[in-house]
Amino acid sequence: MKSKRYGRMSVLDEHKIIAELDQWAEGQRGTTLTWEKLEDAFGFSRQTLNQKKSIKAAYALAKEALSGGKAKSKAEKDAEISALKSTVERLEREISEHVRREGLWRERWQRIAFHIRMSGLQVHQVDKPAGTPAPTERETAKILRPFDKEIPSPYPDNE
């Protein structure tokens, strides 16, 4: 046990105490926080500690976190971090798959636009709202099937 100090608390001491209280709030120091533990750890009386509004507020927040069950053990935090990492990895894979599919979709529409132009039309002539309901997926596939072929070279082979 440190002996009680009767000097003034420095700003550095205040920051150290608040950092300690933050660790208590996160559950890194256990689940039972008392003024006596802080007195023993830092050598200031309860009255001195309680006199600083920032320390008093940090103490209240730490006690609230501990009593509300908000504090998590290191194992719980590690498990949560691991779960979050795997979620991030899964989402990154999903994003890369969507990016790949978008690339394929853009290529397909470039082919369609090319074939529309080759047939003597302009894309804006074809891309306008239909007066009738949109075709079903099956009808769309039937309409687009002739366009699912390689784009011919605009330059004939000179062989």
62 in the same domain as 80: no
pLDDT band at 159; cut points 50, 70, 90: very low
More confident residue, 69 or 1: 69
Q: How many residues does the chain have?
A: 159
59 in the same domain as 79: no
Average the pLDDT over each of 80-84, 119-123, 147-151 and give the range with the smallest value. 147-151
Mean pLDDT for the stretch of residues 53-73: 79
Quick one: tokens of 7?
Answer: 């000097």
141 in the same domain as 81: yes
pLDDT of residue 90: 95
What rounded mean pLDDT belongs to the chain?
A: 81
78 in the same domain as 47: no
Inform me whether the pLDDT recorded for 54 exceeds 50. yes
Look at residue 134 and tell me if it is in a domain. yes
Q: In 3D, which of 3, 23, 25, 5 has the Cα closest to residue 13?
A: 5
Q: Given 27, 51, 67, which residue is the final one in a domain?
A: 67
**Which domain does 106 fall in, by range?**
74-147
Number of domains in the chain: 2
Mean pLDDT for the stretch of residues 88-97: 95
49 in the same domain as 88: no
Q: Are 55 and 21 in contact (CB under 8 A)?
A: yes
57 in the same domain as 86: no
Mean pLDDT for the stretch of residues 62-85: 77
80 in the same domain as 38: no
pLDDT in tens, 6-20: 567 888 988 999 998
Quick one: tokens of 122?
Answer: 């302009």
